[in-house]
Structure 1
Amino acid sequence: MKRFAKLALLATLVLGLAGIAQAATEVKMVGDAFVYGSFNANQNFTGWSTGSWDNNSGAYTGAGTQTEDRFQIWERFRLRSDFVANEAVKFRLGIKVEDTWGHGTFTAANPAVQIAVYQAFLQFKLPNCDIEVTAGLQDLSLPATAFFTDSVVFGGDRAAALVVTSPLIDNTLSVTAGFARMLDANRTYDTTTTQVSDEFDVYFLALPITLEGFKATPWGAIGVAGSSANYFTAGSYGPNSTFADSLLSAGTFLTPTGFRNSQNAYWWAGSTFEVTALDPVKFYADVIYGSGNAADRKKDKRQGWFIDLGAEYTGWEVLTPQAFAWWSTGEDSSARNGSERMPSVLSNWGPGNSFLFDCSQDLLKQGNMGVNPIGSMGIGASLNNISFIEKLTSRLTFVYVQGNNSPKAIRFLNTYMGSNPYFTMGRDLTTNEHVLGVNLDSTYQIYENLAAVVETGWAHGEFQSSVWGHRLASAARSADAWKVAFGLTYKF
């Protein structure tokens, strides 16, 4: 009874505050919710856990120590409240509750309130102009074509940032500049009286250009990486992956371990392209080069390219055919000369809602295989927006991925460290390995804001025993990966 009394008091307080706010401002609320069950067989191509980092000293637990639970029921609720003072000033607060049935928040026998803040930012325009400032915890992405979901460097996630956007030429050219603090391990005080560099900051600039039949966004970003930031325990892309995997080189783990410098620079430069002049045929592309730790030891450097290209035909009402390809530099035969893969922060890249990549799945938990697009190349095709029945739309996607990483480099680190989380079978592919993936996803719009969603996926991989060991490679050969998820999504 005490717990329910506290909940009632909390609800009364929130409603009371909203009422007070409405006296001076307008309060707008939107949100979404989903409930779905997900059946996943042979996750990570083995049915076992991947390796994971235990702490920021680089200690880790090897792959294959845990066995999958194939069926789970997930629930998530998000509420976004805009407190609007006028057309130029507002504050947004976004909260969410998320967990599996039978655990934590949704445990029937022992319920508990677990509310997380995922958005909290102030947004306003400078007086008498169209310069807009957004400051606080916000959704943030570096420029990318929407055809590939989001940025392969940093996309589709929240960050504590300051972003300024301003038009330069009306409807033609604008500028976006910003700063984001991605990591701050010790916050206000370091652990001793000796100061350490424990932050990872990113500065970025973009110049969106819009012409008739053509759009492009040249952009650049600079990261300042402190040697004592918590790269190993801060999450990045895909299952059980961290900033350490996406930012650092394999040579970081060789003696002497870690950075020589207290701070190192990372930088990225690239552009997005969208050509619609031949509408209904449209083309999309991203070209990116990234580099990090160039002034540190040779073994700690990381640099490389990433290029993608997509095309679609939008002239049919019943479906949209799409084709796409990408290429990225991969590791050469040595880990002692640094990494030849482009560094990234948090990837949210993937075409056609592919089951292989962490991209645009509606039913996102246990929703993909977490394959790394960096260090690979591939081709694929998708039949998007298939609609022969009213209110029912579907998408069918096929993807083939080939690794660009030298087997020798990955084998060397696996021999040196053991089954480590930096390279993961099925996520990081050698030149002798490939993965096939197919997904069929459907949405039935029951009402305008209520939909039933089904997502299915199949994946098959061929992996080298000499690189990953007989146990993991043999488990991947014994069965393919499958996913079937069904749920309800509600948006209001």
Structure 2
Amino acid sequence: MKRYTVWALLAALVLGMAGFAQAATEVKMTGDARVYGVFFANHNFTGWNTGSWDNNSGAYTGAGTQTEDRFQIWERFRLRSDFVANEAVKFRLGIKVEDTWGHGTLTAANPQVAIAVYQAYLQFKLPDCDIEVTAGLQDLSLPANAFFTDSVVFGGDRAAALVVNAPLIKDTLAVSAGFSRMIDTNRTYDTTTTQVADELDMYFLALPITLDGFKATPWGAVAVAGDKAGYFNAGFADYLMSAGSVLYGWKNDQNAYWWAGSTFEVTALDPVKFYADVIFGAGAMSDRKYAKRQGWFIDFGAEYTGWDILTPQVFGWWSTGEDGSIRNGSERLPQILPNWGPGNSFLFDDSQELGKESNMGANPVGAWGLGASLNNISFIEKLSHILTFTYMRGTNQPGAIRKMNVLLGSNPYYTMGRDLTTEESLMAVNFDTKYMIYENLAAVMETGWAHGDFQSSVWGHRLASKSREGDAWKVAFGLTYKF
């Protein structure tokens, strides 16, 4: 009986606190749900898995050891709750449930709890001004043009960060500055009494400029990378480090990485609009020669928005690639976690609504490419389409990738289909459709096809030969609901 009395008292306390919170704080809830099936043939151009890192020591499982399952049904639900004290102060809590049918949370036979917190931040304005501070787990991106979805360096992912946004000249000039601790492998205590550098910290500054018919955002970022941070576990090693540092490690306990660039948007000739990004980045430049990584990335896009029935778009990009040696460092732009891609392209992890198994995972860094898109095609009310063709070719000399594969075998650092040599190319087409059943409920179908030409002398006969047996393609269909 006492046990039930205790539970009753606890329930009364929770209800009382909820009632008090409701009286003092306004709670706003928004969210979205997706349920969709994906048929995907020839993942990674082979129907086999890519290589993957097993631990932070660099152990790995090679490509071509597992066979694809071509059909999956995915479900995702996200709920965002804003606890608003007043116009200046709020707290956001975002929770997510995501899994595939037949496994985990969304299966009657195995109802495990798998709710993840993906947003948790405090946001407020300083008294008597428009300076806004956001602190906590939040969506974070380095500056980029929405035409290309997001940043090729770090874009559209959650991170624990402190960000300050302040207007300097109203509607003309602002400043955005922030700090993010992206990795802290050992957290409070290192594993022994010897302290190690196990963190990856990033600092960034941006100056959005808005003029009549022109926008630009010059920006810069600096990351301090500890040599004992979990780059392999976090999936950062492929994008951030050089091949030499993956093989032999760093001399320094900490290395600095830095990026500088700007976004550009020209609307003075509206309805013709132009977009561009220019970025240079470098890292580990004070370490051994093989550990250095530096490179350029440039993209350009244009669109005509004067028609109601469709929006024609063209785009292209170029970046530096490896020079053929792994002994003198990397000539590619260092990245942390990219989210770049135009036109909903099937090649890139970009703007697909049905996100799981949605693309080929190609990396635009170390490549150049061209493409065209017919966006916002709409001849029937509530029905819209997008059609995109993309062609890309590598700027990496075959020698660097070949040498890495000779030393390690098929490995996760260089992946066939993601990293291209100067003798390799990809092409892809996607045709995607959305029908608005109701204002907030849509039926979505995304389709894609991709073909790649790969060198047997670089990737080995087994993987390259398998890629020639059939092209990659997908059909995804599902429902999306937003509230």
Q: TM-score under structure 2 normalisation? A: 0.97
Q: Is the 8 A contact 2:367 2:396 kept in 1?
A: yes
Task: Please state whether the residue corresponding to 1:414 is helix, strand or coil.
Answer: helix
Paired with 2:16 and 2:145, the residues of 1 have a C-alpha distance of: 43
* 1:253 aligned residue: 246
The residue aligned with 1:317 is 308
- Alignment CA distance shift 1:392-1:66 (3 Å): same
The 8 Å contact of residues 237 and 246 in structure 2, kept in 1 or not, is answered as no
Aligned mates of 1:337, 1:181 — CA distance in 2:
30
Q: Is the 8 A contact 1:392 1:443 kept in 2?
A: yes
Q: 1:149 & 1:98 partners in 2: Cα distance?
A: 23
Q: In 2, Cα distance between the equivalents of 1:82 and 1:323?
A: 39
Give CA deviations for 1:283-334 in whole Å, capped at 9, x if unaligned: 0000000000000000000000000000000000000000000000000011
Looking at structure 2, the residues matched to 220 and 435 of structure 1 have their Cα atoms a distance apart, in angstroms, of 31
After superposition, give the CA deviation of every residue in 1:358-394 in whole Å (9 maximum; x if it has no partner).
0000000000000001000000000000000110000
Counterpart residue number, 1:211: 211
- Deviation at 1:18? 4.8
What secondary structure does 1:233 align onto? helix
* Offset from partner CA, 1:162-208 (integer Å, 9 cap, x none): 00000000000000000001101000000000000000000000000
| 3-state SS in 2 of match to 1:232 | helix
1:340 aligns with 2:331: yes
Rounded Cα–Cα distance in structure 2 between residues aligned with 1:365 and 1:12: 42
Q: Which amino acid aligns with 2:258?
A: W
Which letter maps to 1:74?
W
Query: 8 Å contact 1:451–1:489 — kept in the other structure?
Result: yes
The answer for unaligned runs of 5 or more in structure 1 is 1-9, 235-241
Any conservation in 2 of the 1:206–1:218 contact (CA below 8 Å)? yes
What secondary structure sits across from 1:196 in the alignment? Answer: coil
Letter of the 1:421 partner, please give it: P
Structure 2 counterpart of 1:167: 167
Q: What residue in structure 1 maps to residue 387 of structure 2?
A: 396
Q: Distance in 1 between matches of 2:366 and 2:133?
A: 36
- Report the counterpart of residue 100 of structure 1 in structure 2: 100
Query: How far 1:424 sits from its partner (Å)?
Result: 0.2
Q: Does 1:230 find its partner at 2:230? A: yes
Task: Pick the aligned partner of 1:244 from 237, 241, 265.
Answer: 237
Assess, with a 3 A threshold, how the Cα gap between structure 1 residues 15 and 156 changes in structure 2: closer, same or farther: farther
Q: 2 CA distance for matches of 1:159 and 1:204?
A: 13
Relative to 1, partners in 2 of residues 1:18 and 1:394: Cα closer, same or farther, differing over 3 Å? farther
Q: With structure 1 as the length reference, what TM-score do the two structures score?
A: 0.95
Instruction: After TM superposition, list the pairs within 5 Å mapping 1:411-426 onto structure 2.
Output: 411-426=402-417
Please state how far the C-alpha of 1:12 moved relative to its aligned partner: 11
Report what 1:7 is aligned to: none
CA distance in 1, matches of 2:300, 2:13: 51
For 1:148, the equivalent position in structure 2 comes to: 148
Structure 1 residues 407-446: aligned runs within 5 Å: 407-446=398-437
Cα distance in structure 2, aligned partners of 1:209 and 1:14: 48
2-side partners of 1:374 and 1:110: how far apart?
A: 41
1:290 is aligned, of 281, 284, 289, to 281
Q: Is the 8 A contact 1:123 1:133 kept in 2?
A: yes
Task: Name the SS for the 1:21 alignment partner.
Answer: helix
Which residue, out of 441, 466, 470, partners 2:461?
A: 470
Which of 339, 347, 356 pairs up with 2:347?
356
SS in 2 for 1:130: coil
Give the C-alpha shift of residue 13 in structure 1: 9.8
| Most deviating of 101-110 and 375-384 | 101-110
Matched, 1:490 2:481: yes
Aligned partners of 1:391 and 1:161: how far apart in 2? 39
The aligned runs of 1:65-104 (5 Å cut-off) are 65-104=65-104
Contact 2:30 2:79 in 1 (8 A): yes
The residue type equivalent to 1:87 in the other structure is E
Does structure 1 retain, via aligned residues, the 8 Å contact 2:371–2:391? Answer: yes
Letter in 2 for 1:373: P
Where does residue 6 of structure 1 map in the other structure? none
- Give the direction of change, closer, same or farther, for the CA distance of 1:232–1:391 in structure 2 (3 Å limit): same
Q: For residues 66 and 15 of structure 1, do their structure 2 counterparts lie closer, same or farther at Cα, with a shift above 3 Å needed?
A: farther
| Matched AA of 1:101 | W
Provide the rounded CA distance (Å) in 1 between the counterparts of 2:285 and 2:382: 53
Q: Distance in 1 between matches of 2:159 and 2:350?
A: 18
Are 1:18 and 1:27, in contact at CA under 8 Å, matched by a contact in 2? no
Q: Label 1:100 to 1:129 Cα distance change in 2 as closer, same or farther (>3 A).
A: same
C-alpha deviation, 1:110, in angstroms? 2.1
SS of the residue 1:166 aligns to: strand
Q: CA separation of 1:159/1:170 partners in 2, compared to 1, >3 Å: closer, same or farther?
A: same
- For the structure 1 residues 11 and 335, does the alpha-carbon distance in structure 2 shift closer, same or farther, using more than 3 Å as the test? farther
Aligned length: 474
2:175 touches 2:206 (CA, 8 Å); kept in 1? yes
**Would you say the 8 A contact 1:21–1:83 is kept in 2?**
no
Which segment drifts farther, 293-302 or 11-20? 11-20
- In the superposition, relative to structure 1, how do residues 378 and 126 fare at CA in structure 2: closer, same or farther (>3 Å)? same
The 2-side partners of 1:142 and 1:226 are apart by 21
Q: C-alpha offsets along residues 4-39 of structure 1, whole Å, 9 cap, x if unaligned?
A: xxxxxx999998765442121000000000000000
TM-fit CA distance, 1:440: 0.3
Q: Separation in 1 of the partners of 2:395 and 2:15?
A: 55
**Closer, same or farther: CA 85–386 of 1 in aligned 2, 3 Å:** same
After superposition, the CA RMSD in angstroms is 1.4
Q: Distance in 2 between matches of 1:189 and 1:70?
A: 44
Q: Distance in 2 between matches of 1:14 and 1:332?
A: 63
Instruction: Report the CA distance between 1:108 and its aligned residue.
Output: 1.5
Within the candidate set 313, 326, 330, 2:317 is matched to: 326
Tell me, in whole angstroms, the C-alpha distance in 1 between the residues paired with 2:15 and 2:294.
Answer: 51
Decide whether the 8 Å contact of 2:207 with 2:218 is kept in 1: yes
The code of the aligned residue for 2:273 comes to: K
SS at match of 1:411: helix
Do the aligned partners of 2:245 and 2:291 also contact (CA within 8 Å) in 1?
A: yes
Contact 1:200 1:223 in 2 (8 A): yes
| Partner SS state of residue 160, structure 2 | strand
| Cα pair 1:82 1:91 within 8 Å, conserved | yes
The 1:14–1:389 alpha-carbon spacing in structure 2 relative to 1, beyond 3 Å, is: farther
Gap regions ≥5 residues in structure 2:
1-9
Q: Which amino acid aligns with 2:374?
A: L
Q: CA deviation at 1:253?
A: 3.4
State the alpha-carbon separation in 1 of the partners of residues 95 and 19 from structure 2.
18
State the distance in 2 between where 1:18 and 1:260 align.
Answer: 54
Instruction: Sort the Cα spacing of 1:360 and 1:51 in 2 relative to 1 into closer, same or farther, 3 A.
Output: same
Cα displacement string for residues 147-170 of structure 1 (whole angstroms, at most 9, x for unaligned residues): 000000000010000000000000
* 1: CA distance, partners of 2:167 / 2:390: 39
| Distance (whole Å) between structure 1 residues aligned to residue 110 and residue 258 of structure 2 | 48
- The one-letter code sitting in structure 1 at the alignment partner of 2:372 is A
